Amino acid sequence: MLTLTDHAQDAVRALTPQAPESVFLRIAPGNQGFEFSLVTEPVPGDALIDDGKVQVFVEPQTAQLLDEQTLDTQLDEGGEVNFFLASPDAMPPPWWR
């Protein structure tokens, strides 16, 4: 199952603030890798990643590809959130410290 780092959980919470209508992050195949979108409900067949802190819907084939992966985030120079897959045992990048 895909896991999210604390940084990724924070980013998802920032993208899906408490609103009158529940909004969730969804991961699906995209033109160049994965597409991240905000949705109000899953597409039939989506896998649910729920670690008790955030909920993320993942398209079924994408869920298989991301099995045993770790999703992390970093901010680019413009302050935009970039999601990336990180090895669970990788050292944090130098800018992280």
Q: Domain containing 40 — which CATH number?
A: 2.60.300.12
Other Cβ atoms less than 10 A from the Cβ of 26: the count is 20
pLDDT in tens, 41-85: 999 999 999 888 888 999 999 999 888 889 999 888 888 888 888
Contact 92, 84 (CB under 8 A): no
Contact 69, 84 (CB under 8 A): no
Question: What pLDDT does 17 receive?
Answer: 74
Phi, psi of 24 (to 5 degrees): -130, 155
24 lies in some domain: yes
Q: What is the mean pLDDT of residues 30-50?
A: 91
Q: Which domain holds residue 16?
A: 3-89
Domain count along the chain: 1
95 lies in some domain: no
Phi, psi of 7 (to 5 degrees): -65, -40
96 lies in some domain: no
